[in-house]
Amino acid sequence: MEVILVTACCSIFVGWFAHALLSGRSVKKLLRTIKHQNQHIMATQAQVAQDLVALKTQLTKVGNEVLGKLAELETALANQGNATPEVEAALAALKTSVQAVDDLIPDAPTPPVEPPVTP
């Protein structure tokens, strides 16, 4: 995404610069325009960052809800007993699907364990 933004900014700058040379716009005015566009780009990136954080939070919430419902289903089936092979197969398929989705998202890194200090 950063490459696209940098490429777009370079293209916009070259276009503005050429336009300024051809139209006789002052360099000050051109620099003001560039500064304004840079502020707009940074504001847009800040919004994208906020949106990404919100989506990650939502994804974590959904994941926890799905795992909770799956655990409830397993408990209910275990308490009822005598689940048919079709129900057991459906539950196994659901677990496989949930695991496949989980595998798409990297797990949070675990903090490194420091070795014990020996005197």
pLDDT of residue 33: 80
Mean pLDDT of 18-46: 72
Q: What does the block give as tokens for 60? A: 């974590």
The closest of 89, 88, 85, 61 to 77, measured between CA atoms, is 88
Beta strands in the chain (DSSP E): none
pLDDT digits (tens, 9 = 90+) for 59-97: 888 888 888 888 888 888 888 888 888 988 988 888 888
State how far the Cα of 5 lies from the Cα of 37, in Å rounded to an integer: 12
Q: Residue ranges of the domains in the chain?
A: 2-104
pTM of the model: 0.48
Mean pLDDT of 28-38: 78
Q: What is the CA radius of gyration of the chain?
A: 27
